[in-house]
Amino acid sequence: MSRSNVARLLVSCRDREGIVASLSGALADVGANIITSDQFSSDPYGGSFSLRMEFYVPNPDERLAQLEQRLAELGSKLELDYRLVDARRRKRVALFVSRYDHCLLDLLWRWRRGELGMDVIAVVSNHPDLRDEVARFGVPYHHIPVNKETKSDAERAQIDLLCGEAELIVLARYMQVLSDDFLRRIGCPVINIHHSFLPAFAGAGPYLRAHHRGVKLIGATAHYATEDLDEGPIIEQDVIRVTHREGPGELERIGADVERTVLARAVNWHLDDRVLLQGHRTIVF
C-alpha cells in the first residue's frame, strides 16, 4: 500500500447516535477504505466525542475534494468540528533552542533518519553556539538575540520569519518565555518540553529543587505552550527512578534522556495527527 494514497479524518463533537455510521458512509461514497479508526467519548449521552480515522483513497486529488463536500454537509447536520488531512503533505516545522543541544540534535537525527515525517525549515536560537552543529544537517540557522530590552523586537523578527511558513514550532529547550502576543500571532501550535513531571516543579531549576525534596522519580513533560506558563495541554510524560545517591548534576543528565524521548514522541504524534484537544485535556490516539 502506498502512503501517497492515505488520508486522515479528525472529528470532535457532542456524542450522539449515528456519527460513526454517517462518517463511514461518506468515506464509502468516495471509494475510501478505512485502515484504522479510534474513538473516545467522555459520556455516550451527550458527552464529548473524539475520533481519528486513517483511510486509503484512490485518486486522492479528486476523491478528497469530493469527501470535503460530503463532510461539510455532515458537519452542518451533526455539528461536527472536523479536519481532513492529506498524509502526503509533510508539516513544516521550526525548532527553537538556546544552548542545551540534546533535544534539538535528537530531533534532527530522527528527522534525517526518516523517523519524523516533517520538513525542518529553520532552527531559531537566541545564541550562536549551535550553528555549526545544525549546519551538518543542512538546515538554516537563525540567531536572534533576546534580552529584556530587545525581547519584543526579537519576537517580531521571529514572527516575520515564520508566520505563514511554519505549521509547528517545537521548543527544544528554548530557555525563553514566549509572550502571549507571540503565541497569538504566530499562527501555529507550539510544543514545549519541560524538564519536570508537571505540575511538579514548574518553572526554572527543577532538578535542584527535586534533589532538595529527595524525589525518587524524575521526569519530563511535553505540552502545548499557552499564555499560562507551563500549564498548556499535556501531550506526553515519562519518568525514571532515581535514588538519594544522585546529585543535581546526575539528575539533570538522567533527565536529559527522558526529555529527548518524551519530546520525540510528542512531536511524532502531532505530525501523525494523533493529538486532539478536548478543553484543557488532550486525547492521544
Backbone angles phi, psi at 267, to 5 degrees: -65, -45
Instruction: Identify the three-state secondary structure at position 269.
Output: helix
Percent of the chain with pLDDT over 70: 96
Q: Sheet of 48-56: strands edge to edge?
A: 33-41, 48-56, 6-14, 81-86
pLDDT at 203 over 70: no
- The yes-or-no verdict on residue 211 having pLDDT over 70 is yes
Q: What is the mean pLDDT of residues 189-209?
A: 78
| Joined grid coordinates for residue 155 | 519576537
**Amino acid identity at 218:** I
Helix axes 248-271, 206-213, angle to 10 degrees: 120
Residue 39 has pLDDT above 60, yes or no: yes
Chain-centre distance for alpha carbon 26: 29
The reported pLDDT for the residue numbered 3 is: 66
3-state secondary structure of 93: strand
Tell me, what's the pLDDT at 198? 61
- For residue 195, what pLDDT is reported? 83
pLDDT, average across residues 209-224: 84
Domains of the chain and CATH, by start: 3-86 (3.30.70.260), 91-284 (3.40.50.170)
74-84 residue pLDDT tens: 999 999 999 99
pLDDT range class, residue 216, cuts 50, 70, 90: confident
Give catalytic residues, as residue numbers: 230
Average pLDDT, the chain: 92
Identify the residue with better confidence: 46 or 259.
259
Element (H, E) at 39: strand 33-41
Q: For position 136, what pLDDT does the model report?
A: 97
Closest CA to 12 of 68, 86, 79: 79
Q: How far apart are CA 38 and CA 157, in angstroms?
A: 40
